[in-house]
Structure 1
Amino acid sequence: MPISFPNLANQILSPHALSRISTEINFNHHHRVAIFPSILQINLRSRSVNNHTSRRNCNQAIFAAATEDCSDTLEFESMELEKYAEELEVAAKAVHMACLLCQRVQESLLSKSSDQVQSKDDNSPVTVADWSVQATVSWVLSQAFGIQNVSIIAEEDVQALSENDAFGLLEVVTKTVNESLSEAPRFGLRAPPSPLSTSEVLEAISKCNSTGGPNGRFWVLDPVDGTLGFVRGDQYAIALALIEHGEPVLGVLGCPNYPMKKEWLSYHNSYRRIISRLTSETSESWDKGCVIYARKRSGRAWMQPLLHKGKTFVWPNSAREIKVSTIDNPSLATFCEPVEKANSSHSFTAGLAHSVGLRNQPLRVYSMVKYAAIARGDAEIFMKFARAGYKEKIWDHAAGVVIIQEAGGVVTDAGGHPLCFSKGMYLEGLDRGIIACSGATLHEKIIGAVDASWNSSSL
């Protein structure tokens, strides 16, 4: 059982225990624990615990409570401190690089009419950024952990890029990827010894061909979540999660247009772009975009600003801890919903909002930035109820779920069950919709409202 303040007086550590713990943690690996202020602070602070458990293969709880013995507890937590530390650091750096890549591509798209926007079979636009991010992240992960040890499930494939009439597009993607990878040393990562060829870029993209499932370890990547927002100069996200035995164990969200400061949200994106252009990137007021990340069972989530031009990334790059909002009064809460009406029912969520007493206007945001908004405390509720026939994909939720939960929030389906990430690329068995809240009180009210009104809905 983690140490909490009420019983701290009965669990004072002896000098011998402190010495043993410091030896076991091995401070030679300081870069792996740098995302935490101090080891003792982690062990001695009050820890928040989610009210629900994660499931392995959707139903099996996989996390057992630690023993009552203080020394065993600290030993267990010191081991947890190291778990996934390297994976989280590399993932955060890869997503950070992807954010800078996307900023450059978006500026290019907004400054001129470009052929860099294509259409996919489902009629959603896909840009150079999607393929370039997928290739970049795939290459970075493979170099860091060994190509034979990396399995990735991602949204894009190489079919459109492999066609004969797409060679010009492939060249643009290759150039964009190489520009991004050339910045790897700024992040403490290794750059390719020579620029990647078009075939090597296609290979990196096509490597993301995992089918997921309940066993083993695989990464989940959405290279540009919210592509409509991207091409319109609005919000979008780069989402990367690591799933082990069907459970997301770390998540990273890159939000290039989501400012570090909440007060900037009141300004329209086009105005923020103008301010960003007029403000020096070396100025402290320049805070366009952020990267948010968390590791399962750490009880903490973090946010770092995007790297200023010409600066070197030093992990964890000015990261600060974030927490969900403490608001539990529905009349004061803000809820998020998708912008797109094609795969979400705004009328049903509006009815739910009214029935539980939500009075604020909904925050309609493209992409998984909605998860970031709740994790940071900018909003309290995210509701999504898809129209009949739409199937939720795991890359649209995995990273955001980990981050909200570790920031102190709750994410389930509309039946109160944990989301299932062990059935391939879709969230199979989803009960009606997805509900994410900053706390249990709001979550229970939304669940109750869904039960009361579902039969009268047309979903």
Structure 2
Amino acid sequence: MGFTAIPVSSVHNIIVSPSHRFFSFDSRFPMMHHFNATAGTGRIQRCTTKISAARLIPMYIGNRRHHPQTIGFYDGKTIPTLSSCCSRIVVSSALMSNEESGDIIHTINKNNNITTNNNYSKELDIAVSAVQLACSLCQRLQEDFVLATNTCHNQIESKGDLSPVTVADWSVQATVSWVLSEHFGNENVSLIAEEDVLTLRRPDSAGLLQSVVSTVNNCLVEASKYGLTGPKKTLNSNEILEAISRCNSLGGPRGRYWVLDPVDGTLGFVRGDQYAVALALIEDGKIILGVLGCPNYPMKRAWLDYHQRYYRIMSKWSPPSFGLWHKGCVMYAKKGSGEAWMQPLVHDRAKLELPIFVKPIQVSTVDDPGMAIFCEPVEKANSSHSFTAGLAQSVGLRKQPLRVYSMVKYAAIARGDAEIFMKFARAGYKEKIWDHAAGVVIIEEAGGVVTDARGSPLDFSKGIYLESLDRGIIACSGASLHEKIIRAVDASWDSSGL
């Protein structure tokens, strides 16, 4: 017998053996209770003993707002463990016995992990945990960068395009590469990522390399806290360099490869501001899943205004504690699921337990341009603020833009904190797939729309660049706003100078 979930209203229809255990979960009241079944009668008797969170699988049945309860059961032999992408499943009725089962929603695999009937569940579980682990690494380093300017200076290099690259970039890349290879095998992992090892191999970079090696090992020591397998011994510098070097895939229209931006928004990172860790899986040029870790993006919408107005200044003197404002979140989605999810970031001394606080996210329902908020990049180097300002005026956007570093802009739209993201690159600039892949699938599965400025879907099959991109990128919470922006771009593009 596998693991399944049914509506609370169908409890009276269940026929089970005494060996089965039942659990209930209500998202409004996160309490867990243990139930026993009386064989042959279908009667459920409630026990007063609360069960461990590790034995509960929360799901949302039917309409998530009106039917939040579920009951799940398993065969009494294998304890289900975390499935990081909880599912919303519609089950009209259930009649289950020890010999036969109707709609099996989840099964227990030999590794004691939850595996849904859909593919890529293991990949999503590992990806979410890897991003959680990487975000914990970044949090510690960012505190050093913000509070100790000498540390920041010694651990930042400049790339050919003059953008900064830090110990965090290399360390996250090495960590995620190692984790994916450990869980799927070196031969099965192809990875595109932003950083290479040329700088770290220079003779004058010995100190920088040692910082990366130390950071990665200190991070991987905590892998088990996130449900991951860590190294049996400390990794040496050659092993770290090898992990970074494995991220050399060129992508394309065939095959399966991961896309990683280890620290998207490095400038925001070193300034103590917003940044993201972004990981996506692409197969035959199509995005399969995306995970977006946003260590400084609050779980609570009410804290966004505080961050925008005060945090950038006050954090350097008296930052609020993590628990006070629920700082940090991870969003993720799987293509075609029609669902996007958010869970809180796991901070120091915490552990990635069953995601009781995992919540579905949806884009905003605002379709009035006058009420909509639009996002744009903070930096002007690779985006035209003047053109987006003109578009905003012509469409009727009256609110001030939300200028945010990194793919946090995608997170804002997916969660309903903003409605529009526009980016129009200056001549000669090519958009890279790692800057968009994870965010695109999360917005789309949350109900939004992402295209180029012609209205065509973004093409991730051309290698590391969005080669066929027409003019710019437009992400919206809904089709109505999206169409208005597209029309405005068409009307004003010839005079844009881009």
Residue 269 of structure 1, CA deviation: 2.7
Residue identity matched to 2:312: S
Once the two structures are TM-superposed, the CA of residue 303 in structure 1 deviates from its matched residue by 0.7
1:103 corresponds in structure 2 to 139
Q: What SS does the aligned partner of 1:257 have? A: strand
Distance between the aligned counterparts of 1:457 and 1:272, measured in 2?
Answer: 38
**CA distance, structure 2, for counterparts of residue 26 and residue 451 of structure 1:** 56
For the Cα contact (< 8 Å) 1:276–1:286, is it kept in 2?
Answer: no
Gaps of 5+ in 1: 1-11, 17-24, 45-73
Alignment of 1:34-53 (within 5 A): 35-36=85-86, 39-40=89-90
Aligned-pair identity in percent equals 64
| C-alpha contact (below 8 Å) 2:146/2:316 kept by paired residues | no
- Cα deviation digits, residues 50-92 of structure 1 (max 9, x gap): xxxxxxxxxxxxxxxxxxxxxxxx8999997531111011001
- CA change 1:429–1:177 in 2 (3 A) is same
RMSD value, Cα? 2.8
Give the 3-state SS of the residue equivalent to 2:211 in structure 1: helix
Contact 2:191 2:249 in 1 (8 A): yes
What does residue 46 of structure 2 align with?
A: none
What CA distance in whole angstroms lies between the structure 2 residues aligned with 1:77 and 1:350? 49
Match of 1:293 in 2: 332
**Cα distance between partner residues in 2 of 1:315 and 1:93:** 12
Partners of 1:38 and 1:142 in 2: how far apart? 30
| Normalised TM-score (structure 2) | 0.77
Preserved CA contact (<8 Å) 1:35 1:316: no
Q: Using a 3 Å threshold, how does the CA distance of structure 1 residues 336 and 355 change in structure 2: closer, same or farther?
A: same
Specify the alignment match of 2:424 in structure 1.
385
CA distance in structure 2 between the aligned counterparts of 1:34 and 1:132, rounded to whole angstroms:
24
Alignment of 1:32-431 (within 5 A): 33=83, 35-36=85-86, 39-40=89-90, 81-113=117-149, 114=151, 115-267=154-306, 268-270=310-312, 273=315, 277=319, 279=321, 283=323, 285-316=324-355, 318-431=357-470
Structure of greater relative contact order (alpha carbons < 8 Å, 6+ residues apart): 1
1:455 & 1:80 partners in 2: Cα distance? Answer: 50
More helix by share: 1
CA distance in 1: counterparts of 2:393 and 2:106, whole angstroms: 43
> Match of 2:434, SS?
helix
Matched residues in 2 for 1:85 and 1:156: separation?
Answer: 28
The structure with the largest alpha-carbon Rg is 2
1:270: Cα distance to partner?
3.5
- SS across alignment from 1:292: strand
Deviation at 1:38, TM superposition (A): 5.3
Quick check: 1:325–1:377 contact (8 Å CA) kept in 2?
yes
SS of alignment partner, residue 126 of structure 1: strand
Structure 2 CA distance for aligned equivalents of residues 395 and 26 of structure 1:
40
> Equivalents in 2 of 1:275, 1:84: separation in Å?
44
Indicate if the aligned counterparts of 1:334 and 1:360 stay in contact, CA closer than 8 A: yes
CA separation in 2, counterparts of 1:38 and 1:402?
18
Q: Structure 1: which amino acid aligns with 2:358?
A: A
Query: In structure 2, how many angstroms separate the alpha carbons of the residues matched to 1:310 and 1:225?
Result: 26
Q: Indicate if the aligned counterparts of 2:82 and 2:353 stay in contact, CA closer than 8 A.
A: no
Over 3 Å off, 4+ runs: 25-34, 37-41, 74-81, 270-279
The structural deviation recorded for 1:377 is 0.3
User: Using the alignment, how far apart are the partners of 1:159 and 1:400 within structure 2?
Assistant: 29
Contact 2:453 2:473 (C-alpha < 8 Å) held by counterparts: yes
- Counterpart Cα distance in 2 of 1:298 and 1:29: 26
**Which of 422, 439, 442 is the matching residue for 2:478?**
439
SS where residue 296 of structure 2 aligns? coil
Whole-Å Cα distance in 1 between the matches of residues 359 and 338 of structure 2?
14
- Give the deviation of 1:112 after TM superposition: 1.3
Displacement, 1:29?
9.3
